[in-house]
Amino acid sequence: MKRSSILLVVALAVVLVLTWSFLALAQEETSELELQTAEAAFQAADKGNPDPAWQGQKFTIGVYSAGPRGAISGPLYFWRPFFEKLTGATYDIVEIPFGELREKIFTDLMTGTGYYDVIIGPSWFYGDYVSNGWIVPIDKYFDDPRMPKWDRDSILLPIRELLQWKGTWYGFNNDHDGQVLYYRRDILTDPKWQELFKQEKGYDLPVPPRTWEEVYDVCDFFNGKDWNGDGEKDYGITMHLKVGGQGFFHFMALSAPYVVSPAPGDDPTKVTRYHNVYWFDPETMEPLVDTPGFVEALKMLLKLSKTGPSAMWGWSLGEAWDAFLRGKAVLTFSWGDVGSLSQLPESSNIKGKLGVAPIPGSEKYYDLETQQWVNQRNFVANTVGASWHGVISKFSKKQDLAAYFLSWQATPEINHWNVVWGWTGIDPGTLYDLLKPTGYADIEDYVQTGYDAEDARQFVTAYEEMWYKYPLRQAYLRIPGTPEYWEVWDIHLSEAVVGQVSPEEALRRTKEDWNAITDRLGRENQKKIYQEAIGYVPEK
Amino acid sequence: MKKKKKLGIVDVLVWIVIVITFIWVVTPFYWAVITSFKKPIDVFRLSVVPWLQFKPTLDNWYMEFTQRGPEIMKGITNSIVISVSAALLAIALGSLAGYGLARFRFRKWKNQDMALWFLSQRFLPPAATVIPFFLIIKSLGLLDTRLALVLVNTTFTMPFAVLIMRDMFKELPVELEEAALVDGCSRWTAFLRVALPLAAPALVSTAIICFAFTWNEFLFALVLTYRQAIPMTIVIAGTEHTQGVQFWYVSTRLLLAILPPAILALMVQKYIVRGLTMGAVKG
């Protein structure tokens, strides 16, 4: 035998031995505390009356691929043994790469294959789900004595609306997404920086910044200064602005207060043709994306992008979050993931220094009806993101068992357990996640899982203020073709961010493309679904 | 005594090209190796020297094996089974078809037309056929099976095998088979005992290329598999999720995915070189 062949065989053997040694070690990284608290949650949660006929049955859940300890898919693995103990039934978890989620799930539903009984998907699938009748309404399960009871009223209103369509429930409570503002509490409350800020900007350093104009001033002031003392210049803001890097979610959150205006009269939240609308004119399906509110917002985004590293034009989520978590940027705005990641030593060195505030408002907004700017502060809550939650496929043959599982996961005890353990990726959004006196939670719930007390207080309170106290909220786009609308928007926004075209031109191009998509998908049908999705009732 | 030859300008240029090529080829692997030993917090900052700029850790490897071990093993096993089977099937069918095209003249459908038709299969964008294939495989009850991917990948790699093998058999002197026929061999025996052994290097190199095509295939694997038959390409794609691409896991999975084809290529490299250079020099 040749020497090279012997070496090859030896290398192969070493690889195999190492692989199987690692496999022999295979076990989930579950701590004793996790198990104890999970057991307590399991005991306390309502269990309904599992049907004995479910024993030995199995159903299948489709969820994006993040692994047994990853966001959203992780809790499915974690709770499986508990579910088996409870019902004698089990489930398969089928992980789907995030980028292929839509194709994979829609192919299954479109062809009636019915491989997935449950889909843990994003809220932007609803337009297709409902208009095609792919998922089943779940109201019938609320009074079913077999099902565990979950507290629907505790879900904060903007999220609750995402789980329904025209008042009918389709989704089970799980995750609660929205973008909030994260900042360096230690830096913004430092008297030295406060004094310098006042000297430079002429007013007190706002802690936290309440409007995008204040955010800009803060970022502009801190950008290029070595405020963390590492000997290098640091940044004001960090964002993910790369095409395909989910940058359009940033723009959604930023633009809402410039665009969404309160309705006149007693109820400022009433949806009219001109008020509390964001995406399209509900009478004509004409895109609003090139109206002055959007243009002003895009100009603000461009200004803000100059107060951070220019590399962020090519950044996706990971890079953008990392710059903030590593202490290189004084501010960012994003989902709840940043709050939970900031507490993990392997991802962050800012634990104990985190400040969180609800998404900023604007100093003025554009009234679509009067076509004039109104010089008044405007605050608009967002549900930007996926709010990953379970729905049941019409093609499932095990709908009741699937409903049992999703109801059980939606119970306050289990859902809150998922929220306080940050690795689950399930973000706060119910009264039992909010701190007393508004909610029912104690800060200790969060501290015992590793949160710094003040970080956790800021984190949860920011969501409380945004979803519980903000006067207005941004409509969510839930019509067929939503990902396609967002994709072209993403591209044109990027053209503006890199200076290829003006903000006006980028938004005009977006409008043109959106109209083409609407016409291709059928304007009248799209309009009907859009009206239903945002709760608009045409005036006769 | 031999005089030391001075380096000429050409030698220097050659060395520069070699060094650039080396860096070009090695950098991605180096990036993968060091990233697989970095903590997430170290991944995005520019740091390439372990121990000086970052402290290497085995955490990523440990987490992959403890949490994803069974899935990765399943992915690698599926990839190996699917790729090897598809490659073997492709060369088995491809060499027969190639031999037929090289040795027989067809009248109704001319040889050249058939060769062109096979070639057109390589030009066909796989995305155009993914839904029909999905429906066929679904109606056969083969969704989420390795057999489905073997059949589909064979379909896409076989034209390549047919064309390479046709050229290979054309290169072989037909007199060798005629001598075997004169000695009493049947056409089939002459093919098996004379033509095929002589074409072994080309067979191996074709098989390796078919193996590589299948190993890297993503689209059909994504659509036709759910859980049981997922190959490594899908496992690697799973490192992208809502919290961004987990580059530290991309690296570990990438290195694991490179291993089997690299070992295979090392084992048969002499055949690859011989197969690819056959017919390059003609007397």
Rounded distance, CA B17 to CA A480, Å? 53
- Closest to A420 measured CA to CA, from A464, A450, A440, A386: A450
Predicted local distance difference test score (pLDDT) of residue B280: 45
Residue A8's pLDDT band, with cuts at 50, 70 and 90, is low
What are the chain A neighbours of B59 within 8 Å (beta carbons)?
A: 346
The closest CB to that of B41, out of A27, A347, A425, belongs to A347
- Chain B residue closest to A103 (CA)? B223
Return the closest-CA partner of residue B213 out of B70, B79, B116, B55. Answer: B79
Between B37 and A23, where is the model more confident?
B37
How large is the average pLDDT for residues A127-145? Answer: 96
Chain A residues with beta carbon closer than 8 angstroms to that of B44: 318-319, 322-323, 326
% of chain A beyond a pLDDT of 90: 88
A125 C-beta neighbours (distance < 10 Å), count: 23
Q: Reply yes or no on whether the pLDDT at A9 is more than 90.
A: no
Question: CA A10, CA A8: separation in Å to the nearest integer?
Answer: 5
Return the higher-pLDDT residue of A317 and A357: A357
Q: Which one of A7, A16, A22, A91 would you mutate to disrupt binding with B, by most B Cβ within 10 Å of its Cβ?
A: A22
Q: Does B281 score more than 70 pLDDT?
A: no
Mean pLDDT of B71-100: 95
Residue A522 clears pLDDT 70, i.e. is over it = yes
The pLDDT of residue A18 is 59
pLDDT for res B8? 87
Question: Do residues B179 and B108 lie in contact, with contact meaning Cβ atoms separated by under 8 Å?
Answer: no
Averaged pLDDT for residues A172-201: 98
**Mind telling me how many Å the CA of A105 is from chain B's nearest CA?**
10
Q: Could you say which of A29, A65, A347 has the minimum Cβ distance to residue B66?
A: A29
Q: Is the pLDDT of residue B125 over 90?
A: no
List, for residues B155-206, the tens digit of each pLDDT value.
999 999 999 999 999 989 999 999 999 988 899 999 999 999 999 888 998 9
- Tell me if A66 and B242 make a contact (CB, 8 A cut-off): yes
Model pLDDT, residue A12: 66
The answer to whether the CB atoms of B223 and A107 lie below 8 A apart is yes
The residue of chain B with its CA nearest to that of A74 is: B67
Per DSSP, the residues of A18-31 read HHHHHHHT------
Q: How many CB pairs under 8 A join A and B?
A: 130
pLDDT in tens, A241-289: 988 888 899 999 999 999 999 999 999 999 999 999 999 999 999 999 9
Per-residue pLDDT, averaged over B239-246, amounts to 83
Contacts with B, A 312-341, CB within 8 Å: 316-319, 321-323, 325-326, 337, 341
Looking at the complex, does the CB of residue A3 fall below 8 Å from at least one CB of chain B?
no
User: What single string gives the DSSP state of each residue in A283-327?
Assistant: TT--B-TTSHHHHHHHHHHHHHHTTS-GGGGG--HHHHHHHHHTT
Give the DSSP letter string of A52-71. GGGTT-EEEEEEES--TTST
Q: Please give the average per-residue pLDDT across A206-235, as a whole number.
A: 97
Q: What is the pLDDT of residue B120?
A: 87
Average pLDDT, integer, range A367-391:
97
B51 pLDDT band (50/70/90 cuts)? Answer: confident
pTM: 0.88
Of all residues in chain A, the one with the smallest CA distance to B144 is: A115
Q: Which residue has the higher pLDDT, B199 or A399?
A: A399
Q: Which amino acid is at B14?
A: V
Binary contact (A322, B44; C-beta < 8 A): yes
List chain A residues with CB under 8 Å of B226.
Answer: 60, 94, 115
Cβ of B240 within 8 Å of Cβ of A97? The answer is yes
Q: Which helix (H) or strand (E) covers residue A346, if one does?
A: none
| CA-closest candidate to residue A482, choices A176, A130, A63, A137 | A130
Q: How far apart are the first and last CA of chain A?
A: 90
A310 has a chain B CB within 8 A of its CB: no
Q: Which residue of A has its CA nearest to B233?
A: A97
